Structure 1
Amino acid sequence: MFKIATKSLACLAAGGIAFAALTPVAHAQRQEIANDLRKCADGADGPAVHVTVSGFKANTGRIRVQAYPATKASWLEKGAWINRIDTAVAPRGGKMSFCVPLPATGAYGIAVRHDVDGSGKSGWNDGGGFSNNPSLSLLSLKPSAGKTAIRVGPGVTRIQVVLNYRQGMTIKPIG
């Protein structure tokens, strides 16, 4: 019996290791990073995501760009992000660019939040957006991992995120 149980545990452990290899990153590796665009320059090694954010309502406050594993269990869960850039808003030409390095190739989602007043608290005037720019509504502010998932390969993946803000009873881009 002990021999069979040991063999079963070894198979489970091996299966777990194989599963872990498919998972982009463990939660313990998350970190707040500086926005170093050199890591997304032409010819730069990846994996990384170059995120261009547009549609700012105001040139004030702070912007946060976070990368998550594109899994139902991790997507938008508190503390489940992998890398985060948090900086003052300073859009040039109405856009800001960010480079988010990632630990491995795989499926990820990018979440962007514009804290218009810089309070650090979510408010009705704040904006946000996601990779793949899914439609949002007051009833559906958090799109699924499947709607935001992007495939990140060994190089630099480039995406654009358009910010959405509450406008009356709708959530949509400004303009």
Structure 2
Amino acid sequence: MIVSKILAAPAATIAVAAAAPAAAQTIGGDHHACDNSQGPAIRANITGLKDRTGRLKLELYPATEEDFLRDDHDLRREGKVFRRVWASMPDSGPVAMCIKVPAPGTYALLFTHDRDHRNKFNFWKDGAGFPGNAKLGRSKPELKQALVKVGSGVTVVNIRVQYLRGLGGFAPID
């Protein structure tokens, strides 16, 4: 994924656990881990979606500068943490995605809204977000924006999606 070369960010904070919207249905291939509180897992409450087109994706990376947003083939070949979960866009209602993690610890998390179903980040159309929720800008985001400390249960984070907003780069639409 080339998003690392096109998104930038100022400082952000580590994600903070928060309650999920009561009506949110957890989606994605790992939804059972969050629905049944079978951690360790991350439940990401997604807000700020531009529309209800395309697919949604969560990716889990090691929490190191060297490995953040690296190619998944390289990470897997080296035996490092990487996990990807896809979900179809729900027709309506709040959106929450779940992704399992291998063990309690600190990880980096990326969310993307693949609006054109191409599985390749489209700078002009697709959205992205990290738990830190700082404005992304136009170049590679900082690792600290994506960090999530995960315990043995389900850790809840809130991600506000950002899309290209003119010369200033990526920002929330609302």
**TM bracket, shorter-chain basis:** 0.7 to 0.9
Q: Over residues 125-163 of structure 1, what are the superposed CA-to-partner deviations in whole Å (9 max), with x where a residue is unaligned?
A: 11100122132112x3x3222232111111110001110
1:165 counterpart letter in structure 2: Y
2:129 is matched with 129
TM-score, normalised to structure 1, is 0.72
SS at match of 1:46: coil
| Alignment match, 1:6 | none
What is the match of residue 84 of structure 2?
84
- Where does structure 1 differ by over 6 angstroms across 4 or more consecutive aligned residues? none
Tell me if the contact between 1:113 and 1:127 (Cα under 8 Å) persists in the aligned partners: yes
> Counterpart in 2 of 1:35?
29
State the Cα distance separating 1:72 from its structure 2 match.
1.0
Kindly state the Cα deviation for residue 87 of structure 1 after the two structures are TM-superposed.
2.5
Residue of structure 1 in register with 2:65 after alignment? 72
Deviation at 1:91, TM superposition (A): 5.2
For structure 1, the 5+ residue unaligned runs are 1-33
* Percent of residue pairs bearing the same amino acid type: 33
Letter in 1 for 2:135: S
Q: Distance in 2 between matches of 1:100 and 1:114?
A: 16
Q: 1:36 to 1:150 in 2, by over 3 A?
A: closer
CA distance in 2, matches of 1:134, 1:73: 21
AA in 2 matched with 1:109:
A
Normalising by structure 2, we get a TM-score of 0.72
Report the alpha carbon displacement of residue 61 of structure 1 after superposing the two structures with TM: 0.9
Residue equivalent to 1:20: none
Do the aligned partners of 1:132 and 1:147 also contact (CA within 8 Å) in 2?
A: yes
Mark the structure with the bigger radius of gyration: 1
Read off the aligned partner of 1:87 and give its amino acid letter: A
In structure 2, the residue matched to 1:109 is 108
Q: Quick one: higher RCO (CA 8 Å, sep 6+), 1 or 2?
A: 2
Q: Which runs of 5+ in 2 are unaligned?
A: 1-27, 76-80
Q: Which residue of 2 aligns with 1:154?
A: 152
Aligned CA-pair RMSD: 1.7
Find the aligned partners of 1:88 and 1:159 in 2 and give their Cα distance. 20
Q: 1:65 to 1:91 in 2, by over 3 A?
A: farther
Q: Provide the C-alpha distance between the structure 1 equivalents of 2:119 and 2:143, rounded to a whole number of angstroms.
A: 24
1:112: how far off?
0.7
